[in-house]
Chain A
Amino acid sequence: MKTKMKKLFVSVVALLLIVGPGSSTLAAFAEAPYKTYTVDGYGDVAETQTAYLPYGTINKIGDELLKAPTDFTILSDGTMYILDSGNKRVLISDTEGNYYGEFGQEYLNGPRGMHVTEDRICYVADRDARTVWVFDEKGELIRSYGRPDEPLYGDTLDFLPLKVVANESGTVYVICEQNTNGIVQISPAEGGTFLGYFGTNATNANLWTIVWRSLLSDTARAKMVSNLPATPDNVAIDEKGLIYTVTRGEGEASLKRLNIAGGNMIEPDAYDEVPAAVAVGNHDNVYVLSQQGYIYEYNNDGELLFVFSGSDDGQQRMGLSIKAEAIQVAKDDKIYVLDSDKRQVLIFEPTEFTNHLHRALYLFSKGLYNESKEPLQEVLRMNNLFDYANMAMGKVLYKEGKYDEALRYAKLAKDFDGYSDAFWEIRNEWLKQNLALVFAGCILLYAVIKAVSVLDKKKNILDPVRKVVDGLRQKRFIKEMGYIFYFMRHPIDGCHGIRKEQRVSVLSANLLLGLGMACFIINKYFVGFLQKSVREGRYEIASDIGFILVILLVVVGCNYLMCTINDGEGKLKHIYCSFIYSFGPYFVIQPILFAFSHVITFNEVFFIQFGNLCMLVWIGVLLFISVREINNYTVKETVKIIGLTLFTILIVCLLGFIIYVLWSQVFDFIRSIFGEVVYKIGN
């Protein structure tokens, strides 16, 4: 026991020595203080296995403390360069924080960004010195680039470099503060030649601003906030020389992968509003770091694999950032994040789960489908809801000809293209096997019908049936309902029937409305997978019904109001009925489309679209004619009334909104009083 104590003592001392003064702290823990999410096929967010665990932190490089560091680079051999901006120097270390050296003190003034190439040429973007410094592997200054003299650069523009990258040939790409033209591209030829701007962001002018600006006078337009493209926030370069940029507030364009021509080749399906940095991984993956500390990992196509980590709200737990500045990925897939507020480098280590995924990702993107199956299975074994893996698995199985399985995975992943392809194959297979049978069935059916009609002609065997049908047709109620088919084909006469002949009643219109709503709901939730716009297993029936009723009420009401003050002859009842009956085509065409949606693939989707278009046009025409006929208007008057109705609807919506706001204030006031009374009584 005594020796044991000694051992413990020795080990504790040794540990103290390891973490003691003079070196950085590195410790492995294994419970993440954050959740990891992924995005599913609907764009919804789902929790998943912890993708990366906090591995450690580097607080000091040797004995050197960091002060407001803003950028860093990790080379493939594990050498780390940190731009220690507050101390105006570049520190060199390994990925455990051991001090290797430093340089740059005599030149750097207010550096903000840095890039080190694999041959250890270090580029520093120095905002306050208005210079990009270039140091060699010994830390000696070899070049510097100031403001380009070329007129193309822009006469009035300053040169305030914030971030920089360089490719193998030494061309530097500089992001400059206030420079909205794009990334400044400078070639090393002749001591620095300005090559032009690169990867300019688009301005986002929506319809409203365009209309608004066109209405304003020149002076007023000049006073408006100028609509300039956003300057990128950070930039990265991959082994192939492709440039990645991140820009805040640009939505899907917040992450870009630019080809040589400056065209974007990636579109993230989920993004952050305030990205701070971007890095390229080892498996055709991309990492984006947000200023708040969220880390996003995307695959080659911009599909989000993981988002994790986050901001430290004072809990002081490892793996959370306060102000994240830069991100780097080492060759062993560890992620390094530089935090200027915490003055440290956070290290994240991929879990076993993520390692499997990376392997699959790599093999899959290289087209080695069969080989990627095993890691994919491993991923799905650990999380069989992981969307990317389901999608990839579906594709792999499709390639193997296992279409049923492929279909299942594609459906799980909401991979519509994959589903469509697999379904096409399955349908094809089915048709091949059953075509003869189907034809035989058709012929048989035809023969039976023929035979029955012949027999009917001779011996009237269908008389009893006919009698029943006729009997039903005579029922007033059925008759009223059936009028919809007549109305569809003869809207002018149909309206006359509604107005003058009482061919329909409010009851029948209500019933049709109910039927229509049922039809709408069934179609919405049970339509074929490829046509479905709502997510599986999600039902909002009450709001659907409410939505339809409110719209109907507002449209009919507003239309009626406008008609009465514009000499319309229609009564409210007639307007209501004619509106409902105008939806006849919906009752006829929608069920056919619904049935059809279950057997089509994306190849035949045109039929559905065409069917929808026909239906909508038909309904539109019927509505137009109804308004005209019921009120006995001319075409011109009808157009006017429709315009007025739309305007009234707008006003009603505004009114509703104002009333809502006012009443919510009143309710809140009452609630406050109630709360206070309850409190006083309670005491």
Chain B
Amino acid sequence: MATKIKKILCVLFVMLLGFVAPFTHNIPVTQAAGEEEKKEAETGDTGVWNDWNETHRLTAENDKFRLYVNEASLALVIEDKKTGACMESSPSYNDGKNNKTWSAYLNSALVLTIIRGNDDTKQADLVKDQVNKKVTYTKDGFSADIYWPKYKFGMTLKVQLTEKGITAYVPDESITEDGDEYKIGTVCIYPCMGVSYLDDNEGYIFIPDGNGALIYLNDKEGRFNTGFTSMIYGEDVGFTESSASNLLWNRYQMITGANQIIAPVWGIAHTDDKMAYLAVVEEGAERASIEACPNGVTLDYNRAYAKFILRKLYTQPTSNNTSSGSFHMMEADRSHSDLKIQFFFLTGEEANYAGMANAYREYLLDAGILEIQGNMEYRTRVDFLGTEREDFIIGTKAVVMTTVDDIYEIYKDLQTAGVTDLFTVYKGWQKGGLWNVPITKYKADSKIGGTKKLTQLIQDAKVDGIEFYLYNDALRINPDEQNATFNVVKKVNKKRYEEYTYKDVYEKMIYLTPARSGSLLNKFADSYLKKGIDGVCVAGITDTMFSYSYGGNFYSRYDCADSYAKTLAELDGKMSLVLEQPSAYLWSDMDAFLDMPMYASDFIYEDENVPFLSMVLKGIVPVYSEYVNFEANKDEFFLKLVETGTYPSFYLTKESSADLIYTNSSDVYSSQYDVYKNEIIEYTEKLKEVNQAVAGAVITGHEIMNNDVRVVTYSNGVEIFLNYSTGEQTVDGVRVESMSYKVVSE
């Protein structure tokens, strides 16, 4: 056996030499030398880069796929046995424009950035650098121990072929850093999986921006110089620097943040080859970003990958004055987690984004992260705002918007009109109003009627079949109302993190440490359960994750996520829990998903919005939209609700929202019930009908026609045709009027 391996190694080594030699000859050595070298590179070889039939060897095979590996770079090729279609982790066509570093990037299975002093840009890989490598083949893949002697670090990469695709895995304990000079910054595993050159392949990259978005694999003609890059589960406030953002008149924040990634997935589909993959970051997602670069972003290759962050540089100021000194620091320890990506390969009719959504749903159900909720029927979400505060002569005074009696009245009014399926989150119910956070016990503001009355309302609502939840932002503490000296989050540089509201009454909020959030939430839940009430809406901690330092210790995003997950799992055991835009790792604890984004973030390189998350979750858990109030295009938004199977949400007050103008809710510019009553009735009538037609079914197909018509197919055979165009359209013999929809049962 050993001699056999030796022989193979010898052969491979010769092949490697043959493969690398022309490169070193043709391709310039450093990246920094710029234009001149680029020219030189351009005169180099173009054409077939590596004929994988020659450079790769078959390592594993099952009923559906064959897995080939290039032992030098550990690059992969997956072949669909039925059609012979392939997906590669390194491009087979060389356009001759790439220098040595970029060539290595395109071909290597692992691409690392190294931190040395203040420099975190240098690249380490398996092609350009000299590495000590030991590859062990198993019956379904291989395991490679890799060591960079120059940098004195190493890790083990394990690749396994499964029935659904492949698993790429770097165990945490295998990552070793022996030297002091070089440290690992980031790790990318197969950054070019599914790579294609310019428009050589038809298809698209799917990115998890908002509900989902596609970047087509057409020739972008160099229009974009940056691609999609976003931290999974949101930015890390522990590392954010106070940056001088561009403010209107030096005061008003103009640009809204992009959507954050809710689920750790991405995908690439080659529709011409009918082959696609969906990648799920299974381990290490808490501290990783998803990057997608269409051609023209540095290289002419389309690629998408996850970048795991192990260590980062940060700025340590020595003064509160920004003009004074600061110095760059490196995190003392790297973050510890296994790094694991599941690539689900999809072929034939599943090789598209609908197939990706199906694969992800299946994965979540199999892994037990999602459970099919029993309570799935259609409901209209009507949220109420209780009290807010505005400045007064001394301190603040209450602005009462909706009392318990008002809610009784509104319920009665809606029920008379036939709207009985309601779902309510009551905000600003607690003593001291909406921003008296955190809430530590069940005590309602006397201005809305007091605790007793509220308890009665919740019980009465239950009898009427209304789901009623009390809103609880478990993340924030208001330093103007509560003592925020202890148990609050400090950034890695030991400065307290402050979130600016850009509002008048309370100018900033501070984050509680996850442990504190958890203990307060539990305390609150206990006092709540004592009254026999069990519905709570948790916000804040559901879509935020950060590194922080507290009490001299440093905590990573993994610690933060663990703590939140534990807290919510415990809570889920004893109460009914609905979550505001929860990150995917918390999905096992939710009874309903609130505030589902309907669109992506309008990045210029995005070509299409697709309702990926809705396709995954529809029919599994009830999903409620963001508030209809603030939509400027109501007709289009309504169609989006139909398309995604999302239940509508309204933010209501009894009083006119003009009363809110001097409060921190001054951005709630329209909310009065009287204004929205008819809309609620209309939405309920129409959407209930649509959702009853697809009750219990999941979305299995989704198509975008070229005439602005979209067709959604459900597992029970129902098809919904939506026409977003300005004229009447006919698809499959189904005629749909402009800005309208049609439900067709089989």
Give chain A's interface residues, CB within 8 Å of chain B. Answer: 1-2, 4-5, 7-9, 11-16, 18-21, 25, 27-35, 37, 45-51, 53-54, 57, 59-60, 65, 270, 292, 294, 307-311, 313-320, 351-354, 381-386, 412, 521, 525, 536-539, 541, 668, 671-672, 675-676, 678-679, 682-683
Contacts and interface: CB of A to CB of B under 8 A. Distances in A.
Contacts of B602: 29, 31-33, 54, 317-319
A679 B662 contact: no
B568 interface: no
B317 A313 contact: no
Given A47-B667, A672-B318, 8 more contacts: A4-B349, A30-B598, A37-B254, A45-B249, A45-B251, A319-B602, A537-B391, A682-B494
A29 B246 contact: no
Contacts of A311: 246
A39 to B, nearest CB: 10
A11 B707 CA distance: 9
A311 B321 CA distance: 27
A316 B703 contact: no
Nearest to B675: A381
14 contacts: A2-B349, A5-B352, A12-B204, A15-B607, A15-B704, A29-B602, A30-B599, A30-B637, A34-B255, A34-B256, A352-B635, A384-B672, A539-B392, A678-B494
B467 interface: no
Given A2-B349, A9-B271, A310-B248, A316 B218 contact: no
A140 B325 CA distance: 63
A351 B632 contact: yes
A46 B666 contact: yes
B717 to A, nearest CB: 11
Given A31-B599, A385-B669, A537-B390, A4 B713 contact: yes
B226 A4 contact: no
Contacts of B605: 316
Contacts of A5: 348-349, 352
A675 B600 CA distance: 41
Contacts of A314: 226
A353 B248 contact: no
Contacts of A294: 248, 254
B202 interface: yes
Contacts of B246: 292, 310-311, 313
Contact of B319 (A308, A538, A671, A682): A671
A398 B609 CA distance: 47
Nearest 10 A-B pairs (CB), nearest first? A351-B632, A537-B662, A672-B319, A14-B706, A31-B599, A310-B254, A50-B632, A318-B602, A5-B349, A383-B669
A19 B713 contact: no
A322 to B, nearest CB: 11
B606 to A, nearest CB: 7
A30 B268 CA distance: 24
A7 B703 contact: yes
Contact of B255 (A14, A16, A310): A310
Contacts of A60: 221
A426 B576 CA distance: 55
Contacts of A352: 632-635
Contacts of B656: 384
A250 to B, nearest CB: 16
Given A29-B606, A50-B632, A318-B604, A4 B256 contact: no
A16 B600 contact: no
Contacts of B630: 49
Contacts of B255: 33-35, 310, 313, 315, 320
Nearest to B553: A682
Most chain A CB atoms below 10 A, which of B352, B632, B633: B632
B661 A46 contact: yes
Contacts of B493: 679
A3 to B, nearest CB: 9
B733 interface: no
B258 A315 contact: yes
- A-side binding surface: helix, strand, loop or mixed? mixed
Nearest to A354: B632
Interface string B582-608: 000000000000000111111111111
Nearest to B332: A683
Contacts of A9: 271
Given A20-B218, A49-B632, A313-B255, A539 B599 contact: no
Interface in B479-496: 493-494
Given A19-B607, A29-B606, A294-B254, A307 B248 contact: yes
Nearest to A681: B552
Nearest to A36: B632
A438 B392 CA distance: 36
B245 interface: yes
Nearest to B391: A539
Given A31-B602, A537-B661, A21 B701 contact: no
B252 A45 contact: yes
B316 A679 contact: yes
Contact of B318 (A29, A65, A319, A675): A675
B670 A382 contact: yes
Contacts of B393: 521, 525, 539, 541
A4 B253 CA distance: 46
A133 to B, nearest CB: 31
Nearest to B395: A539
B224 interface: yes
Nearest to A538: B391
A514 to B, nearest CB: 15
Contacts of B607: 15, 19, 25, 27
Contact of B325 (A4, A14, A521, A672): A672
B53 interface: no
Contact of B394 (A48, A317, A541): A541
A612 to B, nearest CB: 24
Contacts of B504: 538
A315 B606 CA distance: 12
B657 A8 contact: no
A381 B674 CA distance: 10
B729 to A, nearest CB: 13
Nearest to A271: B249
Interface in B355-412: 390-394
Given A16-B218, A319-B602, A672-B325, A30 B636 contact: yes
Interface in B634-680: 634-637, 640, 656-658, 661-662, 666-667, 669-670, 672, 675
B191 interface: no
Nearest to A386: B669
Contacts of B318: 672, 675-676, 679
B199 to A, nearest CB: 8
A384 B676 CA distance: 12
A4 B251 CA distance: 52
A100 to B, nearest CB: 21
Interface in B691-740: 701, 703-706, 713, 724
B40 interface: no
